[in-house]
Amino acid sequence: MIEYKAIIKRNPNKRFGKPCVRDTRITVFDVLGWLASGMTIDEIIDDFPELTVDDIKACLAYAADREHKIQHAS
């Protein structure tokens, strides 16, 4: 699994503190929504060239880690 902690950042002054990709205003939720709607990684990068394949994989790894923590917290 990709190490997302160097890519996914929270800034309380950006997007209400939601986890974003690096210094962009693109949230993990945005990326997951685009993937869920059927966009491919290449389509996302075409629309948002500031993103990389690793950025998108980091969003997926972040979401998987959050889900794992939720499952083990209950």
Query: Using one digit for the tens of pLDDT, what is the confidence trace for 17-65?
Result: 999 999 899 999 999 999 999 999 999 999 999 999 999 999 999 999 9
Does residue 5 sit in helix, strand or coil?
coil
Provide the 8-state DSSP code for 20. E
CB 73 within 8 Å of CB 42: no
pTM of the model: 0.88
Q: Which architecture does CATH list for 8-73?
A: Orthogonal Bundle (1.10)
Name the nearest CA neighbour of 34 among 12, 51, 11.
Answer: 51
List C-alpha distances in Å: 59 to 16, 50, 69, 70.
18, 14, 15, 17
43, two tokens: 């389509």
Can you give the pLDDT at residue 1?
Answer: 67
pLDDT greater at residue 42 or residue 70: 42
